[in-house]
Amino acid sequence: MNKIYQYDYIIIGAGIIGLTLAKELISKYPQRTIAILEKEEDVAKHASGLNSGVLHAGFYYTSDSLKARFCVQGNQLMKSFCKENNIPVNQCGKVVVAANDEELKGLYELEKRGKKMVLMLS
Ligand SMILES: Cc1cc2nc3c(=O)[nH]c(=O)nc-3n(C[C@H](O)[C@H](O)[C@H](O)COP(=O)(O)OP(=O)(O)OC[C@H]3O[C@@H](n4cnc5c(N)ncnc54)[C@H](O)[C@@H]3O)c2cc1C
Pocket of ligand 1 (CB under 6 A): 12-18, 37-40, 45-48, 50-54, 56
Catalytic annotation, pick one of 56, 69, 79, 116: 56
Give the mutation target among 52, 56, 70 for probing the ligand 1 site: most ligand atoms within 8 A of CB.
Answer: 52
How far apart (Å, rounded) are the C-alpha atoms in residues 101 and 15? 41
Domain ranges of the chain: 1-51, 53-122
pLDDT at 94: 87
pLDDT tens figures, 43-101:
999 999 999 999 998 888 888 889 988 998 999 999 999 999 999 999 998 899 999 99
Residue 119 binned pLDDT confidence (cut-offs 50, 70, 90): confident
Closest residue CA from atom 10 of ligand 1 = 54
Mean pLDDT for 100-105 is 92
Confidence of residue 116 (pLDDT cuts 50, 70, 90): confident
Give the count of beta carbons closer than 10 Å to the beta carbon of residue 117: 20
- Report yes or no: 34 and 26 within 8 Å, Cβ to Cβ: yes
